[in-house]
């Protein structure tokens, strides 16, 4: 099954900006998952939709053996440089190139919203051993901060795509919206009840970083050159003139990291 076209084109072209500008994940997330999934030195973990390896590197630091699955060639190329210890496979969530019950832990960071949820969950369930752990992780921008809200609106208006669709489709970043998005995991069955945790994850950034962050959004990097450049100029203007960011060399890009986890039954 091919992946979403905006993801395929956008992540192929935006891999460098992605690696440069997207936030990583706080150490506390890996401490939690080490205890809860658990992650141990002999754990065989699959980082599904691994991208450039922003989450993979934390998994490797836990001592786990990691196989990273990623369908986009440009992302895999970066991943190989950043995480040479990981085994890297071309594949999708809907057709995971791993044997039945061969994996202790599956992690999906910033990507479950791209999947066809039901076939992907069936595949995740198939590759996990009984009692294996699944973690779904998202970095979510703090839209209550005005310049961040305006940043998101610019991208939505100019590209027609909504980054992190499940949250913004409901116009809320709250627990209720998260429950709606994740209800499918309960519906398909085969997993223990979901548990949730949230961590602060503010990212120090500068104006160029915010522009690269916009460029790394799949909908933006998939735009024709003239529209992409016009949008990126507007993003630069926003950050250079907004009272919360104007004249500041570095400032915080506020985020939180939401973690949801469960085990197969
Ligand atoms: C926003 S990036 C997240 C990358 C990485 N996990 C991270 O946390 O930075 C989303 C990734 O999902 C991948 N992706 C999109 N659709 C997919 C699918 N159906 N199966 C597997 N990966 C997919 C994209 O190629 C992209 O690398």
For ligand 1, the distance from its centroid to the CA atom of residue 195, given in whole angstroms, is: 22
CA atoms lying within 13 Å on the CB side of residue 245: 26
Q: 65-79, 120-134, 174-188: lowest mean pLDDT where? A: 174-188
111 belongs to a structural domain:
yes
229 belongs to a structural domain:
no
| pTM (predicted TM-score) | 0.90
| Containing structural domain, residue 98 | 5-142+166-202+255-263
Which pLDDT belongs to residue 177?
Answer: 60
Q: What's the rounded mean pLDDT across residues 14-43?
A: 92
C-alpha span between 237 and 250 (Å, rounded): 16
Q: What's the rounded mean pLDDT across residues 93-115?
A: 96
23 belongs to a structural domain:
yes
What pLDDT, in 10s, does the model give residues 162-210?
555 444 433 444 555 666 678 899 999 999 999 999 999 999 999 999 9
Which pLDDT belongs to residue 102?
Answer: 98
Which protein residue's CA is at the shortest distance from atom 25 of ligand 1? 72
For ligand 1, the distance from its centroid to the CA atom of residue 176, given in whole angstroms, is: 24
216 belongs to a structural domain:
no
CB–CB of 199/29 below 8 Å?
A: yes
Q: If we measure between CA atoms, which residue out of 197, 159, 166 comes closest to residue 33? A: 197
Whether residue 219 has its Cβ less than 6 Å from ligand 1: no
For ligand 1, the distance from its centroid to the CA atom of residue 241, given in whole angstroms, is: 33
Ligand 1 atom at minimal distance to the Cα of residue 108? 6
For ligand 1, the distance from its centroid to the CA atom of residue 93, given in whole angstroms, is: 9
238 belongs to a structural domain:
no
**Total number of domains constituting the chain:** 1
For residue 69, pLDDT beyond 50: yes
Which protein residue's CA is at the shortest distance from atom 14 of ligand 1? 49
For ligand 1, the distance from its centroid to the CA atom of residue 51, given in whole angstroms, is: 5
Whether residue 54 has its Cβ less than 6 Å from ligand 1: yes
236 belongs to a structural domain:
no
Torsion of CA 10, 56, 171, 262, to 10 degrees: 140
244 belongs to a structural domain:
no
CATH code assigned at 106:
3.40.50.150
């Amino acid at each position: 099954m091919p992946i979403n076209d905006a993801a395929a084109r956008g992540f192929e072209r935006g891999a460098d900006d992605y690696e440069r500008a997207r936030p990583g994940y706080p150490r506390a997330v890996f401490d939690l998952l080490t205890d809860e999934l658990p992650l141990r030195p002999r754990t065989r973990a699959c980082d599904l939709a691994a991208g450039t390896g922003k989450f993979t590197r934390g998994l490797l630091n836990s001592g786990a053996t990691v196989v990273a699955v990623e369908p986009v060639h440009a992302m895999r190329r970066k991943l190989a440089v950043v995480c040479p210890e990981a085994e890297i496979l071309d594949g999708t969530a809907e057709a995971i190139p791993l044997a039945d019950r061969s994996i202790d832990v599956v992690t999906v960071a910033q990507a479950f919203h791209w999947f066809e949820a039901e076939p992907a969950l069936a595949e995740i369930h198939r590759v996990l051993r009984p009692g294996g752990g699944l973690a779904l992780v998202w970095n979510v921008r703090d839209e209550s901060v005005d310049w961040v809200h305006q940043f998101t609106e610019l991208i939505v208006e100019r590209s027609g795509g909504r980054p992190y669709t499940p949250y913004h489709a409901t116009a809320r970043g709250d627990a209720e919206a998260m429950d709606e998005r994740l209800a499918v995991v309960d519906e398909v069955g085969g997993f223990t009840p979901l548990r949730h945790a949230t961590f602060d994850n503010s990212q120090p950034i500068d104006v160029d970083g915010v522009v690269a962050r916009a460029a790394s959004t799949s909908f933006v990097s998939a735009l024709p050159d003239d529209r992409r450049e016009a949008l990126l100029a507007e993003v630069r203007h926003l950050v250079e003139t907004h009272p919360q960011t104007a004249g500041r060399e570095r400032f915080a890009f506020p985020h939180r990291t939401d973690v949801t986890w469960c085990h197969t039954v």
